[in-house]
Amino acid sequence: MRVNPPPSNISPIQARNTPGIYNWMVIPLFIIIIFIFIYLLYRYIKRLHATPEWIEAQKKRPTTRKDCAATAKRFSLTKDEELLLWDICRTTKATNITHTINNADTLDAIFKKYYNTMISSRADEEKISKIFLLRYKIEMADASESVITSTTGLVQGTKIIYIAPDKTQIQCKLKKNTAENMTLAVPHNFFNSHAKPEPLSKAQFIFTTHSGMTYTFMARVIRYSTGLDNGAEMVLAQTNDVRTQAKRKSKRSDINIPCTFSAVSENAKTREHSGTLTNISADGCCILTNLPIKENQNIAVSIMLAEKTYDAFGKIVSTHKNITSEAVFLDIVFTKISSEARNRIFAYVYNYVSHEQSDSA
């Protein structure tokens, strides 16, 4: 078979008209154009997503399943917790949870609405407990993202507790906070107390943030003074030695309501005594009493909330004197409490009880 070689006298114009001769140039050029288009589209979308109008629209749109998945990843939620969050958002028609979750008041409004929906439908108490456990987990995760490392960041009005060497606790309040020092309002009889730390000595203090995170710090006492309002003051040096304490299992709230309690002997209550609840959580409480009760005793407590009285059994884990009245604080951890009582305490701490429920109780 004879093959004729291509003619050697092809002109440049004929060569340009030959099919496929410039394909190796057209294909790369086409790919470059596609990449340029994608890049320009990306830049346009990025600028669009940065506009206040787009961001505001995203905040107001309904929560999607994808939003809950992203939130669950951010706060290390379990699959069951992610599904519960999705049910909460879907039931309450919550706006974009990835934005809402950064506002504690708005988030609490969503959880409160869902809680009251569960109460109205007489949902199982165990399911209701999971609502509060999820809320507290999100709250603690959020608080961990903004840990306090210096006392200069404390806001006026923060309640600060001085811990004396003998474990006596003195309730103080941050009256003034400057770059140089902080001024605490202290009880008047603190000046003459044996628990008062000497000027220029270091003392231990504890405070709890709104989110429930508890911190402890050591600070040097500069001086004692009397304020313009004739109130007793203790001036402390600022410190960066602020440390988080072990996280509580549930949120704790200050309270000031009467209660009754009694010692427990062989699972039976003894004579009841009156006291005052000074703080409470779903896992324990603190009672102020004049009785000299020791640690490690079993105790029964009747907690009088708005709707009714709930009973709980617990153990006294620590006691400390109140310098202002010589009374004793009893720190109690609950050992036996119904799911209903736990949930109503949760609702009290988070202020989720509706006025309608209180009025109808």
| Residues 264, 272 contacting (CB under 8 angstroms) | no
- pLDDT for 361 beyond 50: no
Let me know the angle formed at the C-alpha of 359 by 126 and 340, rounded to the nearest 5 degrees. 15
Q: Supply the pLDDT for residue 267.
A: 65
- Rounded Cα distance between 351 and 361, Å, is 16
Phi-psi region of 257 (alpha: psi -120 to 50; beta: other; left: phi over 0): beta
Cα atoms found within 13 Å of the Cα of residue 182, Cβ hemisphere only: 25
Percent helix, percent strand, percent coil in the chain, to nearest 5:
35, 30, 35
Question: Per mean pLDDT, which of 179-193, 243-257, 342-356 is the most reliable?
Answer: 179-193
Nearest of 184, 157, 156 to residue 170 by alpha carbon: 184
Q: Supply the pLDDT for residue 34.
A: 84
- pLDDT for 23 beyond 90: no
* Cα separation values, 41 from 36, 46, 47, 49, 53, Å: 9, 8, 10, 12, 19
Condensed to tens digits (0 to 9), the pLDDT of residues 28-80 reads 777 888 888 787 777 777 776 667 775 677 788 899 999 999 999 999 999 99
Residue 127 pLDDT grade (very low, low, confident, very high; cuts 50, 70, 90) = very high
- pLDDT for 196 beyond 60: yes
Condensed to tens digits (0 to 9), the pLDDT of residues 246-295 reads 666 678 888 888 999 998 876 667 788 999 999 899 899 999 998 888 88
Condensed to tens digits (0 to 9), the pLDDT of residues 139-171 reads 888 777 677 889 998 999 999 999 888 778 888
Residue 239 pLDDT grade (very low, low, confident, very high; cuts 50, 70, 90) = very high
- Rounded Cα distance between 303 and 210, Å, is 23
| Residues 197, 165 contacting (CB under 8 angstroms) | no
Which alpha helices (DSSP H) does the chain contain, by range? 12-16, 23-49, 52-60, 65-74, 79-92, 97-100, 104-120, 125-144, 339-350, 355-360
Please indicate whether residue 152 or residue 211 has the higher confidence score (pLDDT): 152
Neighbouring residues of 256: CB distance < 8 A, sequence distance ≥ 6 = 276, 277, 278
Residue 356 pLDDT grade (very low, low, confident, very high; cuts 50, 70, 90) = very low
